[in-house]
């Protein structure tokens, strides 16, 4: 059973370009979460999605950031017009059912570098 | 060896010693707590979890203790090995909520 998959693992963009990060949850999981980690800091929640629905996006910046989880295919975190402050590791997690005690399993992350 | 909350982000121990990593959580409504291990360049790896109706839970070489009175969580690693070297994060979740709130982490270094 494959774990959470993320690609690309590393992404380099110039200021003003767009970044697209993909996440395929574990088999049987229909809940996806995105977190951002700045260097030497903990993970910060960004957004929680179920298939075709955004459940909680309270941790996501209001501008330039968007996320989707279509009926078919991976979840996408999209950052438009990237700035240097967007440089971070972005982690995706998945869980089978959204309850307080369902563990979230993390992918290897995408490390975004904005030049 | 033992860390003290979030004010001592590093812990160095000798191989074979026991390690204690501490975490102070903020929300008294939190119902579920998890410890994750993160190695350099990798995603967080689940270690052990505990619900708020428990005060202790044991796994293989690891024990988590929960003190709700003072909102304190600890991870004990028995017979620490070099492969245990990593950053350890505690995370909390509120009942019926879905986001995890992470602490800032403790870097554990195991010296051979």
**Per residue in B32-64, pLDDT tens?**
899 999 998 899 999 999 998 999 999 999 999
- Higher-confidence residue of A95 and B4: namely A95
Q: What distances in angstroms separate CA A97 from CA A19, A29, A32, B64, one per listed residue?
A: 29, 7, 10, 24
Q: Does B7 touch chain A (CB under 8 A)?
A: no
Could you tell me the pLDDT band of residue B9, with boundaries at 50, 70 and 90? confident
pLDDT of res. B4: 36
- Indicate yes or no: CB of B104 within 8 angstroms of CB of A42: yes
- Indicate yes or no: CB of A55 within 8 angstroms of CB of B36: no
User: Rounded to a whole number, what is the distance in Å from the CA of B45 to chain A's nearest CA?
Assistant: 7
User: Rounded to a whole number, what is the distance in Å from the CA of B36 to chain A's nearest CA?
Assistant: 10
**Kindly report the CA angle at A108 between B95 and A35, in degrees rounded to 5?**
40
Reported as a single tens digit per residue, the pLDDT across B67-106 is: 999 999 999 999 999 999 999 999 998 755 578 999 889 9
Task: List all residues of chain A from 13 to 42 with a beta carbon under 8 Å from chain B.
Answer: 31, 33, 35, 41-42
Q: Does A107 touch chain B (CB under 8 A)?
A: yes
pLDDT of res. A69: 96
B66 vs B55: CA distance, rounded Å? 5
Instruction: Give which of B23, B93, B22 is closest to B51, Cα–Cα.
Output: B93
Q: Residue A54's Cα: distance from chain center in Å?
A: 13
Beta strands across the sheet bearing A75-79: A5-7, A19-24, A75-79, A65-68
**8-state DSSP, A64:** S
- Indicate yes or no: CB of A99 within 8 angstroms of CB of B42: no
A36 vs A83: CA distance, rounded Å? 15
Q: What mean pLDDT do residues A95-109 have? A: 80
Reported as a single tens digit per residue, the pLDDT across A3-47 is: 999 999 999 999 999 999 999 999 888 899 999 998 878 899 999
Asked whether residue B3 carries a pLDDT value surpassing 60, the answer given is no
Residues of A in contact with B21 (CB under 8 A): none
- Indicate yes or no: CB of A42 within 8 angstroms of CB of B31: no
B64 vs B59: CA distance, rounded Å? 8
pLDDT of res. B6: 42
Give bridge partners of residue A77 from the DSSP assignment: A21, A67
User: Rounded to a whole number, what is the distance in Å from the CA of B13 to chain A's nearest CA?
Assistant: 20
């Amino acid at each position: 059973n494959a774990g959470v998959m993320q690609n690309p693992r590393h992404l380099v963009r110039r200021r003003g370009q767009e970044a697209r990060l993909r996440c395929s949850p574990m088999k049987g999981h229909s809940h996806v979460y995105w977190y951002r980690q700045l260097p030497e800091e903990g993970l910060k929640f960004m957004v929680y999605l179920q298939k075709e629905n955004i459940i909680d996006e309270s941790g996501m910046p209001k501008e330039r950031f968007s996320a989707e989880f279509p009926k078919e295919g991976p979840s996408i975190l999209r950052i438009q017009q990237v700035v240097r402050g967007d440089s971070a590791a972005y982690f995706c997690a998945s869980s089978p059912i959204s309850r307080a005690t369902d563990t979230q399993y993390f992918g290897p992350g995408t490390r975004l570098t904005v030049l | 060896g033992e860390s003290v909350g979030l004010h001592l982000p590093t812990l160095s121990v000798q191989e074979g010693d026991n390690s204690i990593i501490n975490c102070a959580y903020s929300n008294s409504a939190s119902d579920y707590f998890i410890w994750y291990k993160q190695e350099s360049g990798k995603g967080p790896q689940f270690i052990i979890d505990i619900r708020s109706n428990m005060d202790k839970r044991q796994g293989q070489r690891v024990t988590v203790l929960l003190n709700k009175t003072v909102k304190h969580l600890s991870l004990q690693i028995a017979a620490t090995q070099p492969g245990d070297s990593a950053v350890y994060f505690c995370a909390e979740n509120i009942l019926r909520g879905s986001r995890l709130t992470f602490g800032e982490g403790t870097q554990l270094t195991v010296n051979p």
